[in-house]
C-alpha cells in the first residue's frame, strides 16, 4: 500500500462552491431526505485508509492493529476492518459478542482489557480462544487462573501495567499514572509474573499499557515503550519470554478543522514506538480507535429554531446531548458547518439541542454561517464516541447510521422506534 504524500482530506467536503456538503460522492442533503435526522454518516474509505497507515508504518515489524471497539461498535464497521486484517481491542463481554457476530474468524485477533471483568466474561473469552487477556489486578489474575483450570483452557495473559507516564490530555481520559484505577504498578509486575510462572493454565503472553486518549504528542508513547521494553528484558533474564508488547491506543486527532497530515502523524508515532522497543523481537499490538474512526464520521442535524434571548442567539437542532455527549461531558470541540452554505455574515451563536438540560449544547459562543429553520448542519469528526456513547435520555430515539463506501450509501443501523425502547419493560400491573 502506498500512502499519500500530502495530507489526506477529510471525507466531508463541498464538491463545488455553493453545493451541499458531501461524504465522499454522496450528498448529505440526499441522505437526510431519505433517512431523516439526526443521522450519523461514516466514510468507509477513510476508515480503511487510516488502518492502512498503521499497517504500512509498522510493516517491518510483526504487528497487529487491534481496533478499539468502544469508539464505534457498529457491526458493519467491525466487519469492514476485520476483512482487512485488523484485530480488536475489547473492554466488555458485549463487545466480544459484537466482534464474534461481525467476524467470527477474528476471535484469535482479540485482546480483552478492562478493570472489572466478570467471571462470565472471562469464560466467554476463554471459550472463544481470543489472543490475549490484559489483566489489571492480582485478584483478576487469580480469577483467570481459576476459570482457566475449571474450563481446561490455557489462558494467554498480559499484565496491563501503569508506567507512570504523564500524557497531556483531558483528566477523564488520562489513564497511565499510579493514581488511576487502571492497570498494575509497573514496579510490581516482575514479582507478579514470577509468582504464576509455574501455573499450567496461565501463559505469560505479553505486557500491556494504555496511557490515555486524544494524546497529540508522540513522546509519551515512546517513554512508555521504553519502560515496557525494560520490563520485558528483566523478565527474559528470569526465563519468562514475552511474545507480545501491547502499546495501547490514544493517538489524537485535530478536532478544530485545520490541515491535519494523518499519515505524517502516524509515521512520527511509529518512530517513537520503534525507538522505545529497540531490541524487542516479539509482536507489537496496537489499539487505535479514535484515529481510525473520528474524522470518518459526522452527525447531521436539522435546525428547528433560531432564538434570541437577550444578547444570546441559540440555534436549536433536532440532535441533542443524548446523540453526541462529548461537548457536554468533556467540553469537547466539534466543528459545526451548514450543509448548504447561505450568503451572509457569520454570527456568534450557541448550538444546542432540545433536551431538558442546560448542559445540552454542542457549541457555545461559536461563529456559524447563516442558518434558518429547516436547514441542515453537520457536526464533524463525530465518528468516535458519538453513537457509542448515545442514550435514550428524555425518551429520545437514537439516530440511524449510514456507511458510505465506494460512492454508495447503505443503512447500517435503522432509527430506533418507540416500540424498541418500550420492549424490555414490563407492562404495569392492573389494580
The H or E element containing residue 312 is strand 312-317
Rg of the chain over all Cα atoms, to the nearest angstrom: 23
DSSP string, 8-21: PPPSEE-SSTTPPP
Same fold, 12-42+295-421 and 113-287: no
Does CATH place domain 113-287 in 3.40.50.2300?
no
- Provide the pLDDT for residue 213: 85
Q: Which fold has domain 12-42+295-421?
A: Lyase, Ornithine Decarboxylase; Chain A, domain 1 (2.40.37)
- Provide the pLDDT for residue 46: 97
Backbone φ/ψ region at 402: left (φ over 0), alpha (ψ -120 to 50), beta: beta
Domain edges within the chain: 12-42+295-421, 113-287
What is the set of active-site residues?
356
Are the C-beta atoms of residues 217 and 268 closer than 8 Å to each other?
Answer: no
* 399 contacts: CB under 8 Å, gap ≥ 6: 37, 38, 39, 40, 299, 319, 323, 387, 390, 415
pTM of this prediction? 0.93
- Provide the pLDDT for residue 427: 81
> pLDDT by residue for the chain (431 residues), tens digit each?
333 333 445 799 999 999 999 999 999 999 999 999 999 999 999 999 999 999 999 999 999 999 999 999 999 999 999 999 999 999 999 999 999 999 999 999 999 999 999 999 999 999 999 999 999 999 999 999 999 999 999 999 999 999 877 554 444 444 444 555 678 999 999 999 999 999 999 999 999 999 988 898 899 999 999 999 999 999 999 999 999 999 999 999 999 877 789 999 999 999 999 999 999 999 999 999 999 999 999 999 999 999 999 999 999 999 999 999 999 998 999 999 999 999 999 999 999 999 999 999 999 999 999 999 999 999 999 999 999 999 999 999 999 999 999 889 999 999 999 999 999 999 887 66
Instruction: Give the residue carrying C-alpha cell 516482575.
Output: 190
Q: What is the DSSP letter of 310?
A: T
- Provide the pLDDT for residue 173: 40
Separation CA 341–CA 129 (nearest Å): 52
Amino acid at each position: 500500500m502506498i500512502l499519500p504524500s500530502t495530507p489526506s482530506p477529510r471525507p466531508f467536503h463541498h464538491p463545488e462552491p455553493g453545493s451541499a456538503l458531501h461524504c465522499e460522492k454522496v450528498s448529505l442533503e440526499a441522505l437526510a431526505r431519505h433517512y431523516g435526522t439526526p443521522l450519523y454518516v461514516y466514510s468507509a474509505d477513510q476508515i480503511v485508509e487510516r488502518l492502512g497507515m498503521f499497517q504500512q508504518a509498522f510493516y517491518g515489524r510483526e504487528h497487529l492493529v487491534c481496533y478499539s471497539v468502544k469508539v464505534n461498535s457498529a457491526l458493519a464497521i467491525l466487519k469492514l476492518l476485520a476483512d482487512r486484517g485488523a484485530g480488536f481491542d475489547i473492554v466488555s463481554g458485549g463487545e466480544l459478542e459484537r466482534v464474534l457476530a461481525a467476524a467470527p474468524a477474528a476471535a484469535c485477533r482479540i485482546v480483552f482489557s478492562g478493570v472489572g471483568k466478570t467471571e462470565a466474561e472471562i469464560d466467554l473469552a476463554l471459550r472463544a480462544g481470543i489472543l490475549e487477556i490484559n489483566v489489571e489486578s492480582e485478584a483478576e489474575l487469580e480469577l483467570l487462573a481459576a476459570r482457566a483450570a475449571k474450563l481446561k483452557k490455557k489462558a494467554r495473559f498480559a499484565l496491563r501495567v501503569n508506567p507512570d507516564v504523564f500524557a497531556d490530555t483531558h483528566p477523564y481520559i488520562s489513564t497511565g499514572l499510579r493514581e488511576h484505577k487502571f492497570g498494575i504498578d509497573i514496579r510490581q509486575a516482575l514479582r507478579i509474573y514470577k509468582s504464576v510462572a509455574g501455573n499450567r493454565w496461565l501463559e505469560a503472553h505479553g505486557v500491556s499499557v494504555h496511557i490515555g486518549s486524544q494524546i497529540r504528542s508522540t513522546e509519551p508513547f515512546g517513554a512508555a515503550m521504553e519502560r515496557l521494553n525494560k520490563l520485558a528484558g528483566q523478565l527474559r533474564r528470569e526465563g519468562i519470554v514475552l511474545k507480545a508488547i501491547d502499546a495501547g491506543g490514544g493517538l489524537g486527532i485535530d478536532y478544530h478543522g485545520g490541515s491535519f497530515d494523518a499519515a505524517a502523524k502516524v509515521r512520527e508515532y511509529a518512530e517513537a514506538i520503534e525507538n522505545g522497543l529497540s531490541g524487542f523481537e516479539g509482536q507489537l499490538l496496537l489499539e487505535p480507535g479514535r484515529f481510525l474512526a473520528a474524522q470518518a464520521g459526522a452527525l447531521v442535524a436539522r435546525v428547528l429554531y433560531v432564538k434570541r434571548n437577550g444578547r444570546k442567539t441559540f440555534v436549536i437542532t433536532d440532535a441533542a446531548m443524548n446523540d453526541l455527549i462529548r461537548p457536554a461531558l468533556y467540553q469537547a470541540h466539534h466543528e459545526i458547518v451548514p450543509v448548504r452554505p447561505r450568503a451572509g455574515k457569520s454570527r456568534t451563536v450557541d448550538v444546542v439541542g432540545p433536551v431538558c438540560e442546560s448542559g445540552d449544547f454542542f457549541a457555545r459562543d461559536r461563529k456559524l454561517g447563516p442558518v434558518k429553520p429547516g436547514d441542515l448542519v453537520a457536526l464533524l469528526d463525530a465518528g468516535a464516541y458519538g453513537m457509542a456513547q448515545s442514550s435514550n435520555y428524555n425518551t429520545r430515539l437514537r439516530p440511524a447510521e449510514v456507511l458510505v463506501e465506494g460512492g454508495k450509501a447503505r443503512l447500517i443501523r435503522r432509527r430506533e422506534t418507540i416500540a424498541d425502547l418500550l420492549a424490555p419493560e414490563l407492562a404495569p400491573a392492573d389494580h
